[in-house]
Amino acid sequence: MDSTTTLSDLRDAVDHFVGARNWYQYHTPKNLAMSIAIEAAEIMEHFQWREVGESSEAMKDPTLRAEVADEVADVLIYCLSFANATGIDLSEAIYKKLARNEQRFPISTTNGKLGE
Amino acid sequence: MDSTTTLSDLRDAVDHFVGARNWYQYHTPKNLAMSIAIEAAEIMEHFQWREVGESSEAMKDPTLRAEVADEVADVLIYCLSFANATGIDLSEAIYKKLARNEQRFPISTTNGKLGE
Amino acid sequence: MDSTTTLSDLRDAVDHFVGARNWYQYHTPKNLAMSIAIEAAEIMEHFQWREVGESSEAMKDPTLRAEVADEVADVLIYCLSFANATGIDLSEAIYKKLARNEQRFPISTTNGKLGE
Amino acid sequence: MDSTTTLSDLRDAVDHFVGARNWYQYHTPKNLAMSIAIEAAEIMEHFQWREVGESSEAMKDPTLRAEVADEVADVLIYCLSFANATGIDLSEAIYKKLARNEQRFPISTTNGKLGE
C-alpha cells in the first residue's frame, strides 16, 4: 500500500482517531516526544540480545515480523500525531534533511564508510 | 507536500541515499532500532525541562520549530530505512494498528479519558 | 539502605546474579546500552501523559511509587552490569562528571536558570 | 572508588550540585524520566553501528572508554536525582528487584538461556 498512500492519508486517519476520542488535549509536543521514544524502545526489545546479523535473519519469522511491524507503526503513528499537533510537513522535513545529508556525506568519499 | 507525497516516494529517496553510500551493510534491524531510539531522544531534548502546555507554545518559535522538524525527520528516515531493509509495508502496518486501536478504545467509552 | 550500601555491594550482587545464569555472554556494551535505554523508557511510561507538576504528586501513591522504583532499579541494574562487563568505576565517573559540571554551570551565574 | 562509596555519598554530592543551582524546581519525576532516557540514548550512540562482540573490544580504547563512562555517569546522576526528588531508596529497590528476578529465572533452568 505504500505506493499509493500519501502522508496526508495517514495523517488524516490518525487525526480522525485522536479527534474522535477527544485526545488532542494530551497531544502536546512534550508528551508526544516521550511517546515516540517509548515506542522506539519497544522496537528495540525484539532485538535486545540478538547478534546484529542475526537480527536480519530473525525478521524472516512471520510472528516476529508482525510484532515488529506493529511497533514501528506505533512510532510512526506518534510521529504523524506530532505533525498533526504542530503543523509540521513531514515530507518537506524529510527531503530537507536528506538534501543536507547529501552534502555532509558526499558519495565519492563516503562509499561504505560511516561518516560523523 | 504531505498531500502529494507517498510513502514509496520517501522510501525511494532514502533507499537511493543509503544505497549510493553502500550503507546497507549497517542497516540491520538491530542497528536501525537503536538509531530510531537515538533520534527519538533528540526530539525529547528540546522539551526536556518544559511544562507540558508550554511545549505547544514553544513550537511557535521558527528556530525551535525547524530544529524539531529536523529531529522528527531523522526518526522517520530511520523508520523508512527499517522498512526498506526488512520489506515491511508501513501504510499497511499503520492502518492495521489503527483498526486494532479502534477496538481497544471504543469512542463511546473513551471520550477524553486515556485507556490502558 | 543507601547510607550503608556501597556501589561494590550492588555490583557484586548483580555480578553473582548474572554469573550464576551464565548470562555474561550476552552482556556486551552494545546490548547493555540498549537494555539501559529500554528500561529508561519503562520509567517514562508511568509519566507519559501527566503534567510535569502532577508527576510529583502522583509519586505519593504507594502503588505507582513501587512500580516506578522497580523500573529505576532496572536501569541501575543494567548500569551495574555495564560496569561489571567493562570494568568502569562508577563512583569515579560520577564524581568526575560532577566536577566538570561544576565548571560548566557556575553557581553564581546559574541560579535557577538552566544552562546549555 | 566503588568499594568505599555508598549510594548516599553519591546522592549527597548530586543533591548539593542541584540544590546550589536552584534546579530542584525542574527535577520532577516526568522531567527526570525523560533525562534518564536522553542520556541512555547517548550511551547507545557509541555502539550504534558496531557488531555486538566488537563493542566489547572497542571499550579497550581509552578515549572511547572515557566517553562512555561519562555517558553512564550521566544516566546515574539523573537516577540519583530521581531518588533525591522522590525519596526512593535505590539499594532497597535494587535488592528487591534482584530477589524477584531470582524467582523468575531459576538458576537450574536458566543456565545460559535467556528467559522471558
pLDDT band at B111 (very low <50, low <70, confident <90, very high): confident
* DSSP code of residue D63: H
Q: In chain D, which residue's Cα lies nearest the Cα of C105?
A: D21
pLDDT band at B63 (very low <50, low <70, confident <90, very high): very high
Q: How many CA atoms lie within 13 A of C112 on its CB side?
A: 0
- Name the residue facing C37 among D1, D31, D41 (closest C-beta): D41
Is the four-CA dihedral A24, A29, A32, A34 of positive or negative sign?
negative
pLDDT at C116: 52
Containing D5, the helix (H) or strand (E) segment is none
Query: What angle do the packed helices D7-20 and C90-104 form, to 10 degrees?
Result: 10
**pLDDT higher than threshold 60 for residue A93:** yes
- Residue among D43, D36, B53 nearest C68 (CA): D36
**pLDDT higher than threshold 80 for residue A111:** no
Cell digits of residue A80: 504523524
Contact C104, D21 (CB under 8 A): no
- Phi, psi (rounded to 5 degrees) for D6: -90, 160
- Phi, psi (rounded to 5 degrees) for D39: -70, -35
**Chain A residues lying within 8 Å of C37, measured CB to CB:** 41, 44
Cell digits of residue C113: 536558570
- Phi, psi (rounded to 5 degrees) for C76: -65, -40
Q: For residues B73-84, give the mean pLDDT.
A: 98
Ranges of beta strands (E only) in chain C are none
For the beta carbon of residue A99, count every other beta carbon within 10 angstroms: 11
B77: closest CA of chain D, how far (Å): 16
3-state SS, one letter per residue, for chain A: CCCCCEHHHHHHHHHHHHHHCCCHHHCCHHHHHHHHHHHHHHHHHCCCCCCHHHHHHHCCCHHHHHHHHHHHHHHHHHHHHHHHHHCCCHHHHHHHHHHHHHHHCCHHHHCCCCCC
* DSSP code of residue C18: H
pLDDT above 90: percentage of residues in chain C: 91
- Residue among D64, D74, D92 nearest D7 (CA): D92
B95: closest CA of chain A, how far (Å): 8
- Residue among B51, C95, C14, A34 nearest D95 (CA): C14
For the beta carbon of residue A97, count every other beta carbon within 10 angstroms: 19
Distances (CA, A) of C70 to C8, C52, C58, D80, D90: 20, 21, 16, 14, 9
Place of cell 547507545: D44
Distance CA C75, CA A16 (A): 37
**Chain B residues lying within 8 Å of D37, measured CB to CB:** 41, 44
Contact C28, D56 (CB under 8 A): yes
**pLDDT higher than threshold 60 for residue B116:** no
pLDDT band at B115 (very low <50, low <70, confident <90, very high): low
pLDDT at D10: 98
Contact A70, B97 (CB under 8 A): yes
Q: Which residues pair with C6 in a beta bridge?
A: D6
Q: Which chains touch B (3 or more CB pairs under 8 A)?
A: A, C, D
CB contact under 8 A, A112 and B25: yes
* DSSP code of residue D6: B
pLDDT at A6: 98
pLDDT above 70: percentage of residues in chain B: 98
* Tens-digit pLDDT profile for residues A14-40: 999 999 999 999 999 999 999 999 999
Q: For residues A78-102, give the mean pLDDT.
A: 97
CB contact under 8 A, D52 and C34: no
**Chain C residues lying within 8 Å of A31, measured CB to CB:** 48-49
Distance CA A6, CA C16 (A): 53
**pLDDT higher than threshold 80 for residue B98:** yes
- Name the residue facing B21 among A65, A75, A110 (closest C-beta): A110
Distances (CA, A) of C44 to A41, B83, D68, D81, D109: 11, 26, 23, 15, 32
pLDDT at C115: 66
Stretches in chain D below the pLDDT threshold 50: none
Q: For residues B51-67, give the mean pLDDT.
A: 95
CA dihedral D9→D13→D16→D21, nearest 10 degrees, is -160
Considering only CA atoms, give the Rg of chain C: 17
Cell digits of residue A58: 530473525
**Chain A residues lying within 8 Å of D49, measured CB to CB:** 114
Task: Enter the ipTM.
Answer: 0.96
Distance CA C29, CA B106 (A): 43
Enumerate residues 6+ apart whose C-beta is below 8 A from B81. Answer: B14, B18, B27, B32, B35
Cell digits of residue D9: 555519598
Cell digits of residue D69: 563512562
Q: Which chains touch C (3 or more CB pairs under 8 A)?
A: A, B, D
**Chain D residues lying within 8 Å of A114, measured CB to CB:** 49
D2: closest CA of chain B, how far (Å): 29
pLDDT at C111: 77
CB contact under 8 A, A51 and D52: yes
Q: For residues B76-91, give the mean pLDDT.
A: 98
Q: Count CB pairs under 8 A between chains A and C.
A: 31
Place of cell 538552566: C114
Amino acid at C92: E
pLDDT at C108: 84
D51: closest CA of chain A, how far (Å): 6
Is the four-CA dihedral C16, C22, C27, C31 of positive or negative sign?
negative
pLDDT at A112: 78
D52: closest CA of chain A, how far (Å): 6
pLDDT at A82: 98
Q: Which residues pair with A6 in a beta bridge?
A: B6
- Residue among C85, A29, B81 nearest D55 (CA): C85
Contact B67, A74 (CB under 8 A): no
For the beta carbon of residue A100, count every other beta carbon within 10 angstroms: 12
